[in-house]
Amino acid sequence: MKSVALLEEFVNLPEMLGRVENDRELLVELFALFQEELPASREALQSAIRADDLPETANTAHRFKGMLANLSAHGNYCRHLSPRAALFLRHCRRF
């Protein structure tokens, strides 16, 4: 199954299935919800970065991280979603 192999590049599938007690319908719904919310979440994060709004960037990034954690995403998945956000947050941690 090509789609499962692709999914496993980004999420820990056994962990994710454990979170939903092997309810594959719920898993599909969670991914659909994530896909629906992803564009607005990315735009909110990018807008906060462009505005140099550190508190909003931190809040938005935290929500984003929570969304990814709920999907058992691998730690470096965020890098694929917004390299500029990762760079900005690394820079801000120094202050």
Question: pLDDT for 12-64, tens place per residue?
Answer: 888 888 988 999 888 888 888 888 888 898 899 889 989 999 889 888 888 88
Higher pLDDT, 2 or 60: 60
C-alpha of 28 from chain center? 16
Domain ranges of the chain: 2-92
Q: In this predicted structure, what is the pLDDT of residue 94?
A: 44
Give me the sign of the Cα torsion angle 80, 81, 82, 87: negative
Confidence at residue 11, expressed as pLDDT on a 0 to 100 scale: 76
Q: Name, in order, each residue with C-beta under 8 angstroms of 89's C-beta and a sequence gap of 6 or more.
A: 57, 58, 61
CA dist 52 and 21 (Å) reads 41
pLDDT category at 76 given cuts 50, 70, 90 is low
Q: Is 73 left (phi over 0), alpha (psi -120 to 50) or beta?
A: beta
Dist CA 82 CA 88 (whole Å)? 10
